[in-house]
Structure 1
Amino acid sequence: MLLGLLASACTTGDLGRPRPTVWSQVIAPEAGFRAATARGEAASYFRITDDEEQLRDRAWRFIMPAHERSYFQREVSNLASYRILPVAAQSSAISDYFGGLTAGAYASQASRYSRLAEDTNADRLLIGPFRANAMRVVAADRVRMRALEGSALVPAEKQDPALARVIENEGLILWVCERVGFRIESYRYALANLVVEMPSREAIRAERSIMALEAEAAPLCKLPLIGTFGGEAKKPVVYKG
């Protein structure tokens, strides 16, 4: 049944995320809430705001594997996005993208370099909107926490879910920062191995695209967060293939 539900979510909606279905809107969120709670993770039953929903939609691209041919990894990451699986279940092998990039038939070596540059540029263009969205969510969470602490009208039973929502939001931002770092390392691995296997002048364009992505990603990992995970986003880690 689970496989069938996953298959039904393959149609693409806004920002690349699957279109809303009963699975994505009802079953998966409830299953994720229960699974996260069972693992001892913060989970809130509060309805999400418009900005929080958009943040999750924008995060989805970066959480997923960079290449669509990474079929198994995509399913794992999709389940992790709903919190049904823990984040640690995702692959940390930077060779995954290169495997997807070089699988199948291509007209020429230039097409592989072109696809690498296109994927890198697409990421770069989407980081700015995600960062702006994240800043709005963090600002709203600061208001949430001030209202929670300063109003006697808010019942005590809303304190834990309010804090849990702040933790969820901040955790998602940190997760995206980490996966963007993973993508950059994956792109660099792919470029190095393409040059070894199929040297081409197109490598210059791909290299410049990766450098531009790195420059755009740097401010994302320096956002001043509230501090539920220790404040500023951590510097992306370096992965091993």
Structure 2
Amino acid sequence: MVEPIAIGLRLIATLALTVLLTACVARPTGDFGRAEPSIVHDTMMPFVGDRISQLQGVPVSGFNKTDQEVEMQDRVWRFLIAPHAQDWLYDMSVELQRTHIVPPKDDRYSPTRYYTWLKRTDYQSSRTRYSTVGEDATIDIETLPSTFAAICAVIEVDRQRALALAGLRRDLPPSNDSDVAARKYENDAYIAWFVRALNYRYDSYHFALDSLVVETPHEQSLGVDDALQRLNVFVGRANRHDFCGDGIRVTARGTVALPSRFQHTGDNEVVLLK
């Protein structure tokens, strides 16, 4: 009985240390918000999270990650956090969720937080808030094609892994079955998290734009609305799990999106269509 208790105490001590480090150090990011290597965030915290998951009966794969899986998680990461906007995406909570130290909580996030951050930020011009929303949405749009491609590559890896297992099962130990199933579970969960995060971003931008039109009406709302319509195309594809097809109709003027929610009536007046 002494050894299990000692192991449990060591696990609790490691968890406490990890949580303390997480509270002080956010996961480092590089270009375009992609995650950068970190011993704390890539080794220590996942180790603790995997032990917690195993104790709770959640599938944990013993496989090494493929290059495609690492690439997908690094690209998806920027959609899970927003360090430039004072944690409106709950950055610390996200890191604990990513490493399985705490269960998923993102389904309870409020889309009003982004607008609250915009409202409290001291801009010299009220038009700048529109520019911020438009720029944030545009950056998302520019990084989504490569993110979709990375997700598609992981979906293909899972397919190839299942085919290989089916053909070689008799020559491999039984643990490969559980590892393949667990890795598929992990990848599917990460992709589902990305879909929720993308919807949350779109809903947050949508709420912010509508709120700004009421609070400080400006013609800049039209440009922001156009960006959100283009983003909405990707949101629709993500909700359908259409990561591998082009999924977008294109004309000579660019991407075809949904009609605008706003109408420009002249004299810089903007009204919300009913």
Q: TM-score range by the shorter chain?
A: 0.7 to 0.9
Give the counterpart letter for 1:50 in structure 2. D
Cα deviation digits, residues 166-222 of structure 1 (max 9, x gap): 111112112111211111111111111111111111111111111010012322332
Contact 1:97 1:187 in 2 (8 A): yes
Q: Is the 8 A contact 1:127 1:217 kept in 2?
A: no
**Are residues 1:216 and 2:234 paired?**
yes
Deviation of residue 5 (structure 1)? 4.3
Structure with higher RCO (Cα < 8 A, 6+ apart) = 1
Matched residue, 1:186: 204
1:205 to 223, 226, 229: 223
> After superposition, what is the alpha-carbon deviation per residue over 1:19-43, rounded to whole angstroms, capped at 9, x for unaligned?
3222012111111212222333222
Q: Give distance in 1, aligned partners of 2:106 and 2:28.
A: 24
Once residues 67 and 9 of structure 1 are traced to their aligned partners in structure 2, the CA distance between those partners, rounded to angstroms, is: 12
Residue type at the aligned position of 1:62: F
Residue from 43, 66, 78 that aligns with 1:26: 43
Q: CA deviation at 1:14?
A: 4.1
Q: Work out whether residues 191 and 203 of structure 1, in 8 Å CA contact, stay in contact via their aligned partners in 2.
A: yes
Please list every run of 5 or more consecutive structure 1 residues that lacks an aligned counterpart in the other structure.
226-241
User: Which residue is 2:166 aligned to?
Assistant: 149
- Equivalenced residue count is 225
The match for 1:112 is 129
Task: Report what 2:87 is aligned to.
Answer: 70
Q: Per the alignment, do residues 99 and 56 of structure 1 end up closer, same or farther by CA in structure 2, a change over 3 Å counting?
A: same
* 3-state DSSP of counterpart to 2:135: helix
Correspondence 1:93 to 2:94: no
The whole-number CA distance in structure 1 between the counterparts of 2:109 and 2:152 is 27
In our comparison, the structure showing a higher alpha carbon Rg is 2
Q: Which position in structure 1 is the counterpart of 2:140?
A: 123
**Most deviating of 20-29 and 186-195:** 20-29
Q: What is aligned with 1:230?
A: none
1:45-100 CA-to-partner distances (Å, cap 9, x unmatched) read: 21111110011111111122586212682111121122212112564211011111
Deviations 1:130-152 (A, max 9, x none): 11111111111111011112212
What is the CA RMSD across the aligned residues, in angstroms? 2.1
Name which of structure 1's ranges 205-214 and 96-105 shifts more when overlaid on structure 2: 96-105
Q: Is contact 2:29-2:36 (8 Å) kept?
A: yes
Equivalent of 2:66 in 33, 38, 49? 49
**1:82-130 deviation line (CA, Å, top 9, x unaligned):** 2212112564211011111222311111111000001111111122111
Of all paired residues, the percent bearing the same amino acid is 28
What's the TM-score, normalizing by structure 2?
0.75
Mean alpha-carbon deviation: is it higher for 189-198 or for 85-94?
Answer: 85-94
The letter of the residue matching 2:208 is: A
Confirm whether residue 195 of structure 1 aligns to residue 227 of structure 2.
no
Q: Go from structure 1 to structure 2 and tell me whether the alpha carbon gap of 1:19 and 1:131 turns closer, same or farther (over 3 Å shift).
A: closer
2: distance between equivalents of 1:67 and 1:176? 19
Q: For residue 9 of structure 2, what is the aligned residue in structure 1?
A: none
**Structure 2 residue ranges without an equivalent (≥5):** 1-16, 244-274
Contact 1:65/1:97, CA 8 A, preserved across alignment: no
How much has 1:3 moved relative to structure 2? Answer: 3.3
TM value normalised by structure 1: 0.85
Q: Is the 8 A contact 2:151 2:191 kept in 1?
A: yes
